[in-house]
């Protein structure tokens, strides 16, 4: 996956901070170890990511997406199905003329963050709660920095260090996104639009009501971030067999038996992909 055509720009010193509660000192990254002046230290995983998830921020033994969900998502990416989403994000970042550090919260298997680093040359960090996701990202795109942390709690980054922070169907803890974002920076929040996968939802759940997620995301940001502009990325793809099963695995993570049966009965389906991209800026403190 990594073409090595371009090396991601190095991270600014002091951007990553120690995640230990009440510490928050700058982390110095060496080859296989990160440490802070108070003596807290973290080993880099063999696959290349940094696990900075603290015990109080773990939700389960293996928090975040399971291995099979991460790999189903990767296969969906490799089929090119989500390329228009990646392109829409790149187009927004180009329009915003982002030049500084880019932080992707809820980076998943990493394909969007990797495209940002490669195509825009930005110092980039991808954060995900799932160690399986970060492991796959680090193996595929070793030129970027990958961190396991809980975006719904505290992000291990300094105040106002990111020129742009994105959450692409990821966590939207607005006060924390606001904290890590430069005063003149932008947040790019991507949510599933009202029609996203409506055919799949109809087939499996029996109905496909509008998701209403864009309005909810804007509401969640009230007090931290204000909306600058709103954009849409919508396309349709005919999917069959494994492609449909993989997509459903990333959508219906806890599918009931009856839903799985309906899924397996589908031979092919035209599926609408619908994303809303929200560009926001920090509210004055």
Residues near Zn ion, by CB under 5 A: 18, 20, 23, 25, 36, 38, 40
Residue 58 Cβ, how far from Zn ion at the closest point, in Å? 18
The full DSSP string for the chain is ----SSPPPPPPTT-BB--STT--PBPEE-SSEEE-TTS-EEEBPTTS-EE---GGG--SSS-SS-HHHHHHHHHHHHTTTTHHHHHHHHHHHHHTT--S-EEEET-TTSHHHHHHHHHH---EEEEES-HHHHHHHHHH-TTSEEEE--TTS--SB-TT-EEEEEEESS---HHHHHHHEEEEEEEEEEEE-TTTTHHHHHHHHS------HHHHHHHHHTTTEEEEEEEEEEEEEEEEHHHHHHHHHHH-TT--HHHHHHHHH--EEEEEEEEEEEEEEEPP-
- Residue facing Zn ion at closest CB distance: 18
User: In the complex with Zn ion, which residue's Cβ is closer, 54 or 272?
Assistant: 54
Residue 119 Cβ, how far from Zn ion at the closest point, in Å? 34
Residue 18 Cβ, how far from Zn ion at the closest point, in Å? 3
User: In the complex with Zn ion, which residue's Cβ is closer, 106 or 161?
Assistant: 161
Residue 129 Cβ, how far from Zn ion at the closest point, in Å? 21
User: In the complex with Zn ion, which residue's Cβ is closer, 36 or 269?
Assistant: 36
User: In the complex with Zn ion, which residue's Cβ is closer, 25 or 87?
Assistant: 25
User: In the complex with Zn ion, which residue's Cβ is closer, 16 or 117?
Assistant: 16
Residue 36 Cβ, how far from Zn ion at the closest point, in Å? 3
């Amino acid at each position: 996956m990594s073409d090595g055509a371009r090396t991601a720009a190095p991270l600014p010193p002091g951007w990553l901070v120690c995640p230990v509660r009440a510490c928050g000192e700058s982390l110095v990254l060496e080859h296989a170890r990160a440490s802070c002046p108070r003596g807290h230290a973290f080993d880099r995983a063999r696959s290349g990511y940094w696990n900075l998830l603290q015990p109080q921020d773990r939700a389960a033994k293996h928090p975040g997406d399971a291995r099979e969900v991460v790999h189903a998502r990767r296969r969906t990416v490799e089929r090119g199905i989500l390329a228009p989403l990646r392109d829409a994000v790149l187009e927004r970042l180009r329009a915003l003329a982002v030049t500084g550090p880019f932080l992707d919260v809820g980076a998943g298997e990493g394909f969007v963050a990797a495209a940002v680093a490669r195509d825009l040359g930005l110092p980039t960090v991808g954060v995900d709660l799932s160690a399986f996701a970060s492991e796959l990202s680090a193996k595929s795109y070793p030129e970027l920095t990958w961190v396991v942390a809980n975006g719904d709690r505290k992000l291990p980054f300094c105040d106002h260090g990111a020129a742009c922070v994105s959450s692409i169907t990821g966590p939207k803890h607005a006060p924390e996104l606001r904290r890590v974002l430069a005063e003149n920076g932008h947040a790019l929040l991507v949510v599933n639009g009202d029609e996203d996968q409506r055919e799949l939802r109809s087939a499996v759940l029996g109905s496909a009501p509008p998701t209403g997620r864009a309005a909810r995301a804007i509401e969640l940001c009230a007090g931290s971030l204000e909306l600058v502009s709103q954009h849409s990325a919508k396309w349709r793809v005919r999917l069959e067999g494994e492609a449909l099963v993989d997509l459903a695995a990333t959508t219906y993570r806890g599918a009931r038996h009856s839903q799985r049966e309906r899924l397996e009965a589908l031979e092919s389906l035209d599926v609408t992909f619908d994303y809303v991209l929200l560009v926001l800026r920090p509210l004055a403190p």
